[in-house]
Amino acid sequence: VAPEVQVEGAQTKPPFYLGFATAAPQIEGANATDGRGPSIWDTYAAIPGNIDSGDTSAVADDFYHRYLNDIAAMHLLGVKKFRMSLAWPRILPGGDGQVNDKGINFYGRVIEALLVAEIEPHVTLYHWDLPQALQDRFGGWNSDQIVPIFAEYAATAFKAFGDAVVHWTTFNEPWTFCFLGYGQGSGAPGLNDKVQAWNCVHNVLKAHAAAVKQFRALVPNGKISMNLNCDWAQPLTASPPDKAAAERKMEYMLAAFADPIFKGDYPASVKQRISFLPQITAQMAADLKGSVDYFALNHYTSTYVADKEGAIGLQGPCDYSETQVDLAGKLIGAEAESDWLKVTPWGFRLMLNWVNDRYQPKEIIVTENGMSMKGEDAMPMPQALQDTQRVNFYRDYIAAATEAVTIDKVPMTGYFAWSLLDNFEWGSGYKKRFGVVHVDFTTQQRYYKASAKYLVTLFKCTLLDPTFTYPSD
C-alpha cells in the first residue's frame, strides 16, 4: 500500500529554483528548414501506425520561428532557467563531416535571446533525434562506431556554445531510447532486439565519457551530466523478496547507467541476468569516473514491483514483475492522460532519497517532472486552461521534493517542469498535453494555463497581472 502523502509547505517558496524543460524534436518543427538533415524520429513517425493520429513533428510548436515570443513570455513570467536540446541533424545534417552553419546560427540566436532575457540555458546534446545517416551506416547506437562521431558532434557544440552555456547534459534518458527504441520498437529506430538495446547502453556510456573528455578541455568552467529517468519502484507487499525485487527494478532502470558512472561497473543484479551484457573494462571505468558534475534526474511516476523468477521485462530477462494496482486492485495513484503516468508524489521523495543514498552526488537537479492532464485535449477552450489536476500535481510533487530537501537533506538545487509548451509527445502525437502553456496547433496561438501562473507564483518569480495574456505575433 502506498504511503500516505503529507502535503505541506506548498505555499512557501521551495528551496530550489524553477525552470521549464523542452526538447528540440518536440517543439521546433521546421524539420526540412535551413539544411536540417533527417532524424530517426522523422523516419519512424512517417511509418503509418507508429504515432497516434499519424501526427509528425514537422511543425510542432514552430519554435524554430517563434522562439523569441516564447523566450519573451518566460522573461515576463520571471523564469530564470530553460532546458532545451540541440538537434544534432541541424548541426551535422549527415551526423558527421560538414557542419551546417545555419544550424549553429539558430542555436546561437536562441541562446543569445535567452541570455538577454536573463534566462540561463541548460543544454542537452541528445534528446533522441539521431541523424538518420548514422542509423543507416552502422546501426546507430548498436555500434561503437558512434563513439568518436558523437564526441565530434559534442566538441562542435562545446566550441560554439561553451562560452555562453554552463550547464550541459550529454544524453536524455538513455533507458528510454535504448530499451524502447532498440529493444521494444515503441520509439525510433523501431527495433525489437534486446542485444542491441544493451549494446546501446554500453555505447552511450562510452560516448558520454568521450564527450566529457572534450568538455573538460573546451569548457573548463562548465558542468555536465546525463539525464537519467527512473520511476519509483514500490514493493507490492512488505515481504523481503518483494522489497529486494523493487530494489532490482531500480538497478535495472537507473543504476544500469548511474553505477558505471559513479561506481565503475554495472550492478551485480544486471550482470547476473543479462548474459550478453558487454563488459566495462578498467579503461572505460577510469574514463567514466568523475564524468558527471551533478545528478540530472527525470522523474514522473511509481509502479508496484513484486518478486518474480524468470520474468521477461523490457530489458530482457529479469526477476521482477510490475503493476499499477495493489493486491486489492486499487490504482497506485490518480490517472493522467498518459497510461504509464499515475500521480504518486510520495514516490518522488523516496526516489530522491534513493539517488542520494546510493550515489551521494554533490548536487541533484530534477531536469523533468510534470504530467499530461486526464481528458485535457477533449476539453473546450477556455475551460481547458483551468488545469486543476496539473496544479495539484505540481503542488504535491514540489511539496514532496521540499520535504526531501528540508527534512531528508537531499542536495536538490533545481527543478524543471516538463514542459513549457504542449508539444509533440512522441508516439502519442499532440493529444497528450504536458505544457503549462496551451498551444493551439492550428493557429500556433499560446495561452497560459492555471499551472503556469501557479508555478511562477509559488516560486515567487514575479507577481502576475491577472489580465496578463501571452504575447502573440
Here the cell at position 153 is 558532434
* 300 contributes a contact to ligand GBH by CB under 6 A: yes
The interface region with ligand GBH, picked from 3-11, 142-150, 173-181, 461-469 by CB under 6 A, is 173-181
- What is the C-alpha to C-alpha distance for residues 362 and 15, in angstroms, rounded to an integer? 16
Tell me the backbone φ, ψ of residue 350, rounded to 5 degrees: -65, -40
Within 433-462, which residues bind ligand GBH (CB under 6 A)?
434
What gap in Å lies between CA 408 and CA 90, rounded to an integer?
43
Our finding on whether 172 is near ligand GBH (CB under 6 A) is yes
Nearer to ligand GBH, 307 or 425 (CB): 425
Tell me the β-bridge partners of 412. Answer: 364
For the chain, the farthest-separated pair of C-alpha atoms sits apart, in whole angstroms, at 61
Does 173 help bind ligand GBH (rule: CB under 6 A)? yes
Burial classification of residue 282, based on how many CB atoms lie within 10 Å of its CB (0-12 exposed, 13-18 middle, 19 or more buried): exposed
Report whether the peptide linkage leading into residue 382 is cis, meaning its omega lies within 30 degrees of zero.
yes
Q: How many residues does the chain have?
A: 473
| Active site annotation includes 337 | no
C-alpha cell of 75?
Answer: 522573461
Nearer Cβ to ligand GBH, position 229 or 344?
229
Return the SS3 of 189.
Answer: coil
192 forms part of the interface with ligand GBH (CB under 6 A)? no
Q: Is 396 in the site for ligand GBH (CB under 6 A)?
A: no
Measured from the CB of residue 368, what is the shortest distance to ligand GBH in angstroms?
A: 6
Q: Smallest distance from the beta carbon of 122 to ligand GBH, in angstroms? A: 13
> Where does this chain touch ligand GBH (CB under 6 A) — which range of 33-41, 139-147, 151-159, 170-178?
170-178
List the catalytic residue out of 368, 376, 403, 425. 368
Q: Tell me: does residue 186 bind ligand GBH (CB under 6 A).
A: yes
Non-local (6+) Cβ contacts of 457 within 8 A are: 463, 464
Cβ-Cβ contacts under 8 Å for 443 (sequence gap 6 or more): none
Cis peptide, bond prior to residue 14, ω within 30 of zero? no
Residue 27 is a binding residue for ligand GBH (CB under 6 A): no
Options 54-62, 148-156, 168-176, 407-415: segment touching ligand GBH (CB under 6 A): 168-176
Q: Which amino acid is at 37?
A: G
Interface with ligand GBH includes 373 (CB under 6 A)? no
Min dist. Cβ of residue 120 to ligand GBH (A)? 20
Closest CB 340 distance from ligand GBH, rounded Å: 4
Residue type, 254: L
User: Which of 340, 360, 407, 468 touches ligand GBH (CB under 6 A)?
Assistant: 340
67 binds ligand GBH (CB under 6 A): no
Is the sign of the CA dihedral 453, 459, 461, 463 positive or negative? positive
Q: How far is the CB of 432 from ligand GBH (least distance, A)?
A: 8
Tell me if 23 contacts ligand GBH by CB under 6 A.
Answer: yes
> Quick one: 259 or 425, whose CB is closer to ligand GBH?
425
Q: Provide the CB-side half-sphere exposure for 464 (13 A, CA).
A: 26
Taking only Cα atoms into account, the Rg of the chain, rounded to an integer number of angstroms, comes to 21
Q: How many residues bind to ligand GBH according to rule CB under 6 A?
A: 15
- Confirm or reject binding of residue 368 to ligand GBH (CB under 6 A): yes
Please choose, from the candidates 259, 216, 245, the residue with its C-alpha nearest in 3D space to the C-alpha of residue 303. 245
Check: CB of residue 113 under 8 Å from CB of residue 67.
yes
79 in Cβ contact with 429 (< 8 Å): no
> SS3 for 250?
helix
- Residue 68 grid cell: 523569441
**Residue from the set 176, 203, 315, 389 that interacts with ligand GBH by CB under 6 A:** 176
- Please report how close the Cβ of residue 380 comes to ligand GBH at its closest, in angstroms: 24
Of 338 and 406, nearer to ligand GBH (C-beta) is: 338
Q: Does 44 bind ligand GBH (CB under 6 A)?
A: no
Query: Which of 229, 302, 303, 324 lies at the binding interface for ligand GBH (CB under 6 A)?
Result: 229
Contacts with ligand GBH by CB under 6 A lie at 23, 26, 172-173, 176, 180, 186, 229, 298, 300, 340, 368, 418, 425, 434
* Residues assigned a catalytic role: 368
